[in-house]
Amino acid sequence: MGRFSESAAKVYANVSVQQLLEDFEIGETVGVGGFAVVKKGRYRKTGEDVAIKVVDKQRYSSGDNSLQREIEVLLKVAHPNCIKLYAVYICPRKVYIVTELVTGGELLDRITERGNYNETDARNLITQVLDGVAYLHSNGIVHRDLKLENMLMVNQEDPCPVKIADFGLSKFFNPGSVLSTMCGSPQYVAPEILGISDGAQAYSPAVDMWSVGVILFILLSGYSPFDDDNDAVLFEKIKSGEYDADDPVWDHVSDDAKDLVARLLVVDASRRLTAGQALAHPWLQGMSRGASGSLQGSMGHMRALAEKRTSARTSFQKSHEARAATDITEPGAPELQFIPCH
């Protein structure tokens, strides 16, 4: 019998939740989001562990096709640095998205748990992220929500692969398509997305490269380049492109690493490096002197960042515990038509 994880992803439309339960054992909740919870599962026939994202279709407004888009994108994605889809079960009220289970936690947590950390580590991590982004863009996919929380480690080994996760805001694009939806996470959002509210007509996949720049900035320094408790102030900082790199931790970062950050956090999207150009940068090619120095000073900032994120997440999860407890059982309801979006 072949392994479930090696088969092509399948979509089971108009099925009952009972079919899902016949195929999988459902375990503990491992994540909670606004529209979904993620549970650990096990494929009964082979014993393979999986992750099952349980999405409540009724939480989406009429005309919102982002769930369809997410599934269509996942069906096309096949890259070592992107989460792998196994199956989708479309039931009356919920959709169950079965993917590979990664057990290494989030990238930020992994770094803060390390006993040491240097530029070589940061370079290896961001190279994997860029490899995944380059693949997505070459296949006409823009992620639109790249952030540290969506960078997951495959297992507890060190080193181990990084996986880009959460394709809930992703979308296909082509030269004739228009990207104009205001979306993303505040600290990682590109200035041209914010420009939509000021009358700009569209943006490009370069928005992902801005987010990669923010991620790299944090990997090197331990803090966000753009930060403010007031979103309006935060967004003005982002639109100006003026980031704070005056912290003493930057004294221990190589000039080439700083140069790559500067070439990614460019307000003019047409001048921002593409994923391919970033991968060819001297710092990522290992041609930089002083590019393996210690970043121990940055880890203190990272721990503070991780603690702040954990506190916010705990509050959010508590407010969703009641829904998470009832996310598998679904009473009878009329089936909603699942129509591929274009």
For residue 225, CA distances in Å to 48, 109, 179, 309, 340 come to 40, 19, 25, 16, 38
DSSP annotation string for 251-263: GGS-HHHHHHHHH
Q: Give the closest residue to 167 by CA, choosing from 269, 92, 99.
A: 99
Please list, in sequence order, all residues whose beta carbon lies within 8 angstroms of the beta carbon of residue 257, skipping any fewer than 6 positions away: 119, 122, 123, 216, 220, 283, 288, 291
The reply, when asked if residue 76 is annotated as ligand binding, is no
Q: Give the residue numbers marked as catalytic.
A: 145
* Residue 49 burial class via C-beta count within 10 angstroms: exposed 0-12, middle 13-18, buried 19 and up: middle
Beta bridge partners of 37: 32, 54
Main-chain phi, psi angles of 142, to 5 degrees: -110, 130
Binding residue numbers: 53
Binding residue numbers for ATP: 53
